[in-house]
Amino acid sequence: MTSSNSFLKALSSFFRFAPSPEALQETGVQTAIAEAETEAAAIAETVVPPIVEPDASLLATRPRDVQVAQIGDATTVLRSRTWDRLKFEVEYGRQKGTTANAYLIQADKTALLDPPGESFTDIFLTELQQHTDLATLDYVIVGHVNPNRITTLRRLLALAPQATIICSRPAAIALRTIFADGDVQIKPIRGDEVLALGQGHELRFVFVPTPRWPDALCTYDAATRILFTDKFFGAHLCDEPVLDDNWKQLDEDRHYYFDCLHAAQTRQVQAALDKFATFAKAKLYAPGHGPMVRYSLSRLTYDYREWSQQQHTKDLTVALLYTSAYGNTATIGQAIAKGIAQTGVSVESVNCEFADPAEITSLIEQCDGFIIGSPTLGGHAPTQIQTALGIILSTAPRTHLAGVFGSYGWSGEAVDQIEEKLKDSGYRLGFETLRIKFKPTDETLQQCEAAGTEFAQSLRKDKRIRAPYQNAADGQTDRTGQAVGRVTGSLCVLTAQQDDTRLGVLTSWVSQASFNPPGLTIAIAKDQTADLLAHTGEPFVLNILKQGKNLRRYFLKPPSPGEDPFVAIATETATNGCPVLTDALAYLECTLQNRMECGDHWLLYAVVEHGKVLDATGVTAVNHRKSALQQ
C-alpha cells in the first residue's frame, strides 16, 4: 500500500524515544514457566497422542464428533467436540469451539462422570455404547446440574435404569424434583464418603459450591491420581491434543475462561483451591472443558490463586446479587460481571437462593455499588430477592450506585418493582435497567456486558467527584503526579475491525520499543478496551492525529450499544482490514505481539508492518497534562 520511504516517514513523524526491551521482561512469569517445564520433563508415565494441527479452513464445516482417549488405568475420556461457537454465553466469546468432557472408569464397577448437555446427546450415547455395556453401568457422577444436561441424563437412564446418580445434596434436591415421575436412584454425598469401584479405584468427593454452581462436586481417584475438576481449570477451545503439552499457547484461553466464569466468585474459588490442596498427589486435572491439565498443573493452580487475589486488591467492589429460575438471569449477570471486571473493578456475585442474609449484609456493607437481578415468578420477585432488597434498603448508603436486571417469560413485573423501590429510596442507577425476555441472545449479552462497563465507569467517576481535597501530607504525592503529568505524548486513535464492527480508542501513551523489527508500546485503559486486542496476532491501525483537526472528540468515551463514532468521520480501509482516519497526520498498520496487565491499563507491544504520512506539512497533535491523574 505504501513505499518503504513513506513507511519510514510515518515512523519518524511519531517516534521520539525507544525504551529498552529489557524493561518489559516479566521475570516472575519466566521463572514459573521454567519450573513448569522442569516438572513437565519429569512426567513420562502416559503416552501422549500426537499433536495434529487442525486445518483452519475446515473448522467452520467440520461436524461434531466424540474423541476418545485413555488418560489413566481403566480411565477413558470422551470429548464431545464442536468446532463452532456452542452457545451465545460470554464464556464462548473467543469462538474457538469447545469440548464437553465426560469420563468413564471401568474397574470391578463402572462409573460415568459428567455426561454432556443436549447439544451432544445423540453422538455421545452412540459413542459411549461402543466402549461399555450400559446394562452394567453402576454409577453416573454429576458434578453439577443444569437444564441443558437433563436431556442426556433422561436418555442415559432409560438405557441404564439400574445406574445410581452420585451428586451433592443440593443437586439431589433438584434431581428429585426433575425426576419426580420416575424411579431414579439418587445418592447424595454426605461428608467424607468413599466410593469403591475395585482394583484400587476409590473415589473421594469434595463439595465446592459457588454462586453460579451451588451444587458443584469434584471427584478424586486415588488409583490414577486424577482430580476431576468440572468447571475449574478448563478452557473453551476445540483441538486435537487431549493433554496440555502445548500449554504455553493456552494462557489467554484459560485466563478468559477464568474471567468469564470465576472472576465474580473468587472467594469461593480460593476455598475450592484450599480443598484441592488435600489431594497433593494429584498428577492430572480432568476439567469439564478443554484439554487435560498435566504438564501445567502447578502453573495453572498458581494462576488461579493469583487471578483470584488480584480481584481482592482492587480499589472498588461491586456486589452483584441475583437468583435464577432457569439459568437465564444468571447468564445475564455473568455478562454484566465480565463488563465490570474488564475495567479493573472487582465484582463479587452472590446467588441469593443459597446465601445467608448475614453474607449478603456483609457484602453490601463493604461494596461501593450494587446490582440486583431477578426472574419474575407469579408476577413477583422470588422470596430470596425480596429479602436481599430489604437488606439493601436498610444497609446500603443512598450514595451507592445501583443497577437492576432480569429475565422474564411474559410480564416481567419483578424488574419493574425492584427498580421502582430503589428509585423511590433515592438510589441512582448506573445503567438503563435491563429487561431480557426469555433466553438472552448474543446481541443482548453484548448489551449486558456494555452495561457492566458503563456501571464501572460511573462508579469510578463518582469516586473522583467525592474524593476529598488533599491535606498537607498529600502534597508530595500531588507534586509527583504533576511531575509525571509533564510527560507528553502524541494524540493517537487506535482503530480495529471485529467482524462487522469498527472500534476506536483514543490514547497518547505510545512509545517506540524496538528498531528491528520496528515496534511500539501502547498503554490503553481497561475500561476502554473490553475485548479489543485481547489476542496476539490481531491487526490494528494507529492513527496519529494532526494539530488543529479535532478528531479526538469522537473517541473521548466508549460508544453506547449501537453507536458508531465512525459515521461522521472520513475513513478508508488499510491493507490489514482496519479503518484509517483520512484526516489524520499519519497512520501505522500494526500487529499485536504481546499484552501485559499494568495496574488500570493494558500495555500492548506491536510490530509495525506498514505506514504512511497523509499530510507532510501537518504537525503532530500533542496531549499536555497538568497531572498524572489525567488521561
The pLDDT-based confidence of 466 (bands split at 50, 70, 90) is low
Read off the pLDDT of each residue in 73-98 and give the average, rounded to a whole number. 79
**Out of 218-222, 370-374, 440-444, 516-520, least confident range:** 440-444
Q: Where residue 337 sits, what CATH number does that domain have?
A: 3.40.50.360
The pLDDT-based confidence of 89 (bands split at 50, 70, 90) is low
Report the distance separating Cα 589 and Cα 576, nearest Å.
7
Co-location of 82 and 123 in the same domain: yes
Main-chain dihedrals φ then ψ at residue 274, nearest 5 degrees: -65, -40
In a domain, 447, yes or no: yes
Count CB neighbours of 152 within 10 A.
Answer: 23
Higher pLDDT, 575 or 146: 575
Read off the pLDDT of each residue in 64-88 and give the average, rounded to a whole number. 88
In a domain, 327, yes or no: yes
Residues 6+ apart with CB under 8 A from 145: 167, 171, 174, 175, 178, 215
- Three cell numbers written together for 20: 529498552
Read off the pLDDT of each residue in 496-520 and give the average, rounded to a whole number. 88
Read off the pLDDT of each residue in 295-321 and give the average, rounded to a whole number. 89
Residue 337 has pLDDT above 80, yes or no: yes
Q: Where residue 224 sits, what CATH number does that domain have?
A: 3.60.15.10
Contact assessment for residue 447 and residue 561, using Cβ atoms and an 8 Å cutoff: yes
β 539-544/586-598 pair status: antiparallel
Co-location of 138 and 269 in the same domain: yes
What is the pLDDT, as a whole number, of residue 24? 33
- Three cell numbers written together for 129: 455404547
Closest CA to 558 of 431, 443, 465, 466: 431
- Three cell numbers written together for 204: 473421594
Report the distance separating Cα 478 and Cα 476, nearest Å.
5
CA atoms within 13 A on the CB side of 332: 32
- What are the pLDDT digits (tens) for 564-588? 888 888 999 999 999 999 999 999 9
CA atoms within 13 A on the CB side of 126: 9
Read off the pLDDT of each residue in 213-225 and give the average, rounded to a whole number. 94
- Rounded to a whole number, what is the largest CA-CA distance in the chain? 83
Report the distance separating Cα 444 and Cα 336, nearest Å.
11
Give the DSSP H/E element, type plus range, for residue 144: none
In a domain, 321, yes or no: yes
Co-location of 377 and 263 in the same domain: no
Residue 473 has pLDDT above 70, yes or no: no
**Of 279, 309, 339, which one is at a domain's C-terminal end?**
309
Tell me the H-state helices in 165-282.
Answer: 169-178, 251-261, 266-276
Higher pLDDT, 476 or 253: 253
- What are the pLDDT digits (tens) for 239-255? 899 999 989 899 989 99
Co-location of 12 and 108 in the same domain: no
Co-location of 573 and 501 in the same domain: yes
Contact assessment for residue 223 and residue 150, using Cβ atoms and an 8 Å cutoff: no
Report the distance separating Cα 533 and Cα 13, nearest Å.
24
Q: Look over the chain and give the mean of its residue pLDDT values, rounded to a whole number.
A: 83
Report the distance separating Cα 618 and Cα 137, nearest Å.
77
Report the distance separating Cα 11 and Cα 609, nearest Å.
11
- What are the pLDDT digits (tens) for 11-65? 444 443 333 333 333 334 344 434 444 444 443 333 334 434 444 444 456 899 9
Report the distance separating Cα 110 and Cα 104, nearest Å.
7
- Three cell numbers written together for 167: 451428586
The pLDDT-based confidence of 91 (bands split at 50, 70, 90) is low
Co-location of 253 and 358 in the same domain: no
Report the distance separating Cα 190 and Cα 545, nearest Å.
65
Which residue type, as a one-letter code, is found at position 473? A
Read off the pLDDT of each residue in 424-436 and give the average, rounded to a whole number. 91
Residue 277 has pLDDT above 80, yes or no: yes
- Three cell numbers written together for 130: 461402543
Co-location of 111 and 144 in the same domain: yes
Q: Any idea of the CA torsion for 350, 356, 360, 366, to the nearest 10 degrees? A: -110
Contact assessment for residue 423 and residue 500, using Cβ atoms and an 8 Å cutoff: no
The pLDDT-based confidence of 131 (bands split at 50, 70, 90) is very high
In 477-578, DSSP assigns E strands to 489-490, 492-498, 501-507, 510-514, 519-525, 539-544, 571-573
The pLDDT-based confidence of 314 (bands split at 50, 70, 90) is confident
- What are the pLDDT digits (tens) for 98-115? 999 999 999 999 999 999
SS3 280: coil
Co-location of 319 and 303 in the same domain: no
In a domain, 320, yes or no: yes
Tell me the H-state helices in 355-398.
Answer: 357-366, 383-395
Would residue 533 be called left, alpha or beta, if left means φ above 0 and alpha means ψ between -120 and 50 degrees?
left
Report the distance separating Cα 582 and Cα 587, nearest Å.
9
Co-location of 284 and 330 in the same domain: no
Residue 124 has pLDDT above 80, yes or no: yes
**Out of 135-149, 521-535, 585-599, least confident range:** 521-535
**Sign of the Cα pseudo-torsion (215, 263, 120, 79, in order):** negative
Which residue type, as a one-letter code, is found at position 429? L
Q: Order of strands across the sheet with 217-221? A: 194-196, 202-207, 217-221, 226-230, 284-287
SS3 547: coil
Could you write out the DSSP letters of every residue in 224-238?
TTEEEEETSS-----
The pLDDT-based confidence of 342 (bands split at 50, 70, 90) is confident
What is the pLDDT, as a whole number, of residue 95? 75
Residue 200 has pLDDT above 70, yes or no: yes
**Sign of the Cα pseudo-torsion (596, 598, 600, 603, in order):** negative
- Three cell numbers written together for 27: 521475570
Q: Where residue 585 sits, what CATH number does that domain have?
A: 2.30.110.10
Helical packing angle, 251-261 and 328-341, nearest 10°: 120
**Of 263, 291, 309, which one is at a domain's C-terminal end?**
309
For the chain, give the percent of residues with pLDDT over 90. 49
**Of 278, 309, 340, which one is at a domain's C-terminal end?**
309
What is the pLDDT, as a whole number, of residue 212? 83
- What are the pLDDT digits (tens) for 363-395? 999 999 999 999 988 888 999 999 999 999 999
Report the distance separating Cα 395 and Cα 98, nearest Å.
43
Co-location of 216 and 327 in the same domain: no
- Three cell numbers written together for 329: 438471569
Report the distance separating Cα 447 and Cα 433, nearest Å.
11
Residues 6+ apart with CB under 8 A from 250: 235, 237, 244, 290, 291, 296
Contact assessment for residue 14 and residue 545, using Cβ atoms and an 8 Å cutoff: no
The pLDDT-based confidence of 6 (bands split at 50, 70, 90) is low
Co-location of 560 and 589 in the same domain: yes
Higher pLDDT, 481 or 475: 481
In a domain, 475, yes or no: no
- What are the pLDDT digits (tens) for 152-186? 999 999 999 999 999 999 999 889 988 988 789 99
In a domain, 61, yes or no: no
Main-chain dihedrals φ then ψ at residue 579, nearest 5 degrees: -70, 145
In a domain, 123, yes or no: yes
Read off the pLDDT of each residue in 403-430 and give the average, rounded to a whole number. 90
In a domain, 501, yes or no: yes
Report the distance separating Cα 338 and Cα 455, nearest Å.
12
Closest CA to 247 of 181, 293, 201, 313: 293
Question: How many domains are there within the chain?
Answer: 3
What is the pLDDT, as a whole number, of residue 489? 80
Co-location of 382 and 417 in the same domain: yes
Report the distance separating Cα 351 and Cα 336, nearest Å.
15
- Provide the domain limits for residue 327: 314-466
